[in-house]
Structure 1
Amino acid sequence: MLYNSINFRNVELKNHWVMSPMCMYSCENGLANDFHLVHYGSRAQGGVGLIMMEATGVEPRGRITNRCMGIWNDQQAEQLQKIVDFVHKNSETKMGIQLAHAGRKGSTWNNTQIPIEEGWETIAPSAIPYHPSERIPHVLSVGEIKELVLNFKNSARRAVKAGFDVVEIHAAHGYLIHQFLSPLSNVRTDEYGGSFENRIRFLIEIVDAVNEELNENVALFVRVSGTEYAENGWDIESSVELAKVLKNHGVDLVDVSSGGNIHGAKISVFDGYQVPFSAQIKKEAEVKTGAVGLITTTEQAENILQNNEADLIFVAREILRNPYIAVQGSFEMKQDCFFPRQYTRAKIS
């Protein structure tokens, strides 16, 4: 299964391997550069079906750090298009971009909030910082929320123009959308807080707005935290119900991670520790899912697919260590996978 093709709308992935989005903290003013061209270009040469580009801010305040990527203006989109064009020309890999807003977890460096003079005022659904030592974030008005939805929409339009095949909305890891989802970080009493339906409203408005900019040649994914490992917080049952709604709003796949919203949450980490969340959402919401989290071998990835626990395998740290995990796995399984013609002499038959 790992080396079979799979379709999302009219987007055909040649296999089920995905490079998971990972921040590189290497931009100036949100602009991608030659490092990113080499970084993503080399992973494409390794044969993955899809590369999901790192969290990309839809406005300057949406970045995690001041070295994170952005797509809030056309110049940034033009730089990204160079990478997309290179990958499409020199491989069979499809390109995705993760549209993101850090919210209260922005304006940081090395996981520490930087002084406002060097960073910016953070924003959130409620006046609750991620860590008690951090500045109280600015509470968003309804009008400001509507502006943020428009920021996601405009960024999606730029992504489509730049040639991306997949747009993913980042609603996980304690960033802004996740902050709205969780009753522990969202204590609003208006239409964006309180009930489950109100807390998911911001995300659903973004999904609908982004979908207006997409077509059958660009698929839509959403990344969620299956649980935030905190009592009375966002949990797997909430994620299942959210996935059902996302499916009805035209989302093609739910990319399932976990954690990130509650400082100090206790997480038991082991190989494939997040796969059960993907499996439960896939089964109960009847939606395609992606699994991520310490997936390091071809055998492990194949077993996840065979057990019907996910539809795509998102690989993060392992693909930093080994950009050729996909093609090397195809050698082991005697399957076809893209391998650069320039490297043919190294191919194992």
Structure 2
Amino acid sequence: MSSLLKPLEIKSLTLKNRLVMPPMATAKSEVNGRISRNILDYYNEKSMGGYISLIIIEHSFINQQGKASDHQLSIADDSTIEGLKSLAELIHKNGSKAVMQINHAGSAASTKITGEVVVGPSAIENLRKNDTIPHELTKKEIEGIINDFKKAAYRVKEAGFDGVEIHSAHGYLLNQFFSPLSNKRTDEYGGNVNNRIRIHLEVIKAVREVVGENFPVLLRLGASDYTEGGSTIEDSKIAAKEFEKAGVDILDISGGFCGYNVPGTSEQGYFSSLTEEIKKVVSMPVILTGGITEAKAAEKLLADGKADLIGVGRAIYKDSKWAERSIKELSI
């Protein structure tokens, strides 16, 4: 059997194949972050036929202070649950599973959008934004953010999704704590990698408390900043082991402050050197994304043991029939 067509079971989540649509911001929600007709139509089109086994819904803000952009989805209060239920039901009806990604933008936020003070682990401008010096979070404020992640995860489960993904990539708050480029703290949340992932472990614990043992928890990790003085694959291997121990079920690998791309390469699956290394130290499934546009390339990456699941983003974003064609091609 084709590697891409093999099913996979993780706790209560049964995936019919190894194809994942990773989270991609659409800016299609209502101004207040509520579900819109546009967003329902978009995910209906992408999930039609159930060819993609798992769809990870774009990042949703856990509180107003953590909102990254206009028309970003909200998971910030209980009034969002009803609309999100309709999204989960639609994707299930089409035959795919759905996980929701929850996020706080940290220093990547803007007062213009949130109406609130911009915060971060340290008073350092966001490397991808460079326009505001954030307020350095106090320990009490960190506790509040952890609690907001917890409440957001509860809402994800209440809305009927199949799992929740914690976002720690692409220069957002948890990634800012992980990266030595943005985390210059001298307390227990800064310094060595074990301190820099303390907030992650506290978020994972809080999320697990509220969703229970059998509800899948994913974490998207920006596994390398590809920048001198930034996070490295060695940091990520230490982090991955701790995340698995703390109760993460699937690790979704991407870039850190470098964003979605690896400088200087355009090969399909360009984060595969990271996933290959991480797979050496954990037994949980690992998702690989990064410029994968052909089913044969996805198949080879899986067959070579570079990952357990393949995320195809831009190809599916551009062409809603990509998954159908690819699955049928491999089924022949």
Please give the secondary structure, in 1, of the residue aligned with 2:5: coil
1:83 aligns with 2:87: yes
Aligned to 1:102: 105
Partner Cα distance (2:47, 2:213) in 1: 23
- Asked whether 1:226 is paired with 2:223, we answer yes
CA contact (8 A) 1:208 1:249 kept: yes
Q: Is residue 260 from structure 1 mapped to residue 257 from structure 2 by the alignment?
A: yes
Q: Are positions 1:12 and 2:14 aligned together?
A: yes
Report the Cα distance in structure 1 between the residues aligned to 2:44 and 2:262, rounded to whole angstroms.
36
- Please show how residues 267-286 of structure 1 align to structure 2 within 5 Å: 267-270=263-266, 271-286=268-283
- Paired with 1:48 and 1:266, the residues of 2 have a C-alpha distance of 25
Map of 1:52 onto structure 2: 56
Q: Contact (CA 8 Å) 2:7, 2:17: kept in 1 or not?
A: yes
Q: 1:329 offset after TM fit, Å?
A: 1.3
8 Å Cα contact 1:130/1:261 also seen in 2: no
1:167 and 2:164 correspond: yes
Match of 1:339 in 2: none
* 1:288 paired residue number: 285
SS of residue matched to 1:191: coil
Give the 5 Å matches for 1:308-347.
308-334=305-331
What is the CA distance between 1:126 and its match in structure 2? 0.3
| Corresponding position: 1:70 with 2:74 | yes
In structure 2, the gaps of 5 or more residues are none
- Give the residue type in structure 2 aligned to 1:222: L
* Partner SS state of residue 66, structure 1: coil
Who is 1:130 aligned against? 126
The residue type paired with residue 151 of structure 2 is N
CA distance in 2, matches of 1:266, 1:215: 36
> Matches of 1:5 and 1:58 in 2, distance apart?
32
Q: How many residues align?
A: 325
1:41 aligns with 2:44: yes
TM-score, normalised relative to structure 2: 0.93
Residues 4 and 14 of structure 1 are in contact (CA less than 8 Å); yes or no, is this contact kept in structure 2? Answer: yes
Aligned amino acid, residue 81 of structure 1: K
Query: What is the Cα deviation at residue 266 of structure 1?
Result: 7.7
Q: Is the CA contact (8 Å cut-off) linking 1:281 and 1:287 kept in structure 2? A: no
Contact 1:97–1:167 (CA under 8 A) maintained in structure 2: yes
**Are the counterparts in 2 of residues 153 and 210 from structure 1 also a CA contact under 8 Å?**
yes
Kindly indicate whether the alpha-carbon contact (under 8 Å) linking 2:67 and 2:113 is maintained by their aligned counterparts in 1: no
Q: How far apart are 1:122 and its partner, in Å? A: 1.2
Give the Cα–Cα distance (whole angstroms) in 1 for the partners of residues 74 and 177 of structure 2: 22
Q: Is the 8 A contact 2:64 2:114 kept in 1?
A: no
Matched residue type, 2:98:
M
1:74, CA displacement in angstroms? 1.5
- What is the deviation of 1:287? 3.2
Give yes or no for contact 2:102–2:164 (8 Å, CA) kept in 1. yes
Question: In the TM superposition, what is the alpha-carbon distance from 1:174 to its structure 2 partner?
Answer: 1.0
Shift in Å, 1:260 = 2.1
The 2-side partners of 1:183 and 1:20 are apart by: 26
Distance 2:252 2:134 in 1: 28
Task: Specify whether residues 328 and 63 from structure 1 end up closer, same or farther in structure 2 by C-alpha distance, changes over 3 A only.
Answer: same
Tell me, what secondary structure is at the counterpart of 1:36?
helix
Q: Which amino acid aligns with 2:241?
A: K
Using the alignment, how far apart are the partners of 2:211 and 2:78 within structure 1? 17
Check whether the contact 2:270–2:291 (CA below 8 A) recurs between aligned residues: yes
Match of 1:153 in 2: 150
